[in-house]
Amino acid sequence: MRALLVLILATSACINTPAQGVEAPATAPSPVQQAGGEPQEVRVGASVTVPGSNNVVTFERVSGDSRCPTNANCIWEGDAVVVLRVTGEGSGAETLELHANARFAQQGEAHGVKVTLERLEPYPTADRPVSADMYVAHLRIASQ
């Protein structure tokens, strides 16, 4: 009986979980937006320039989305990892990985730019997986 319970719990944790390592389709990136004081809605492939600098933050992909879908029973709430590329003035790019789950790093800094992931949309549902091109990150971006 105990083994059956463990099997049921393990199986329910995997049901309706979108694929890991989901990347954006190879499409032309969206136009560059200018960051402001409010959170920016940035789609996969889009870039945001940082005010007062030539720094650019690009939303490259979601490397994994294990958030518990609505209408599903899960063992834990899950997480999604947003991969950003920050390009600095006269220097190479740095990668930031920010988490949708508050238990993990939701903020990072690269090239003097502080980026905070406020939320990631859409939230998965049990009957509709999220495709890579649907993601929108709500980012707060500021120069340090």
CA-based nearest residue to 83, from 103, 105, 102: 105
Specify the DSSP element, H or E, that contains 115. Answer: strand 113-121
CA-based nearest residue to 29, from 11, 15, 43: 43
- Other Cβ atoms closer than 10 A to 71: 10
Q: What percent of the chain has pLDDT over 70?
A: 74
Distance CA 128, CA 122 (A): 10
Task: Write the DSSP symbol of residue 102.
Answer: T
Distance CA 26, CA 53 (A): 28
**Residues 84 and 42 sit within 8 Å (Cβ to Cβ):** no
In this predicted model, what pLDDT tens digit does every residue of 22-63 receive, in sequence order? 444 444 444 455 555 678 999 999 999 988 888 999 999 999
Specify the DSSP element, H or E, that contains 13. Answer: helix 2-14
In this predicted model, what pLDDT tens digit does every residue of 13-31 receive, in sequence order? 444 433 444 444 444 444 4
108, two tokens: 């990072």
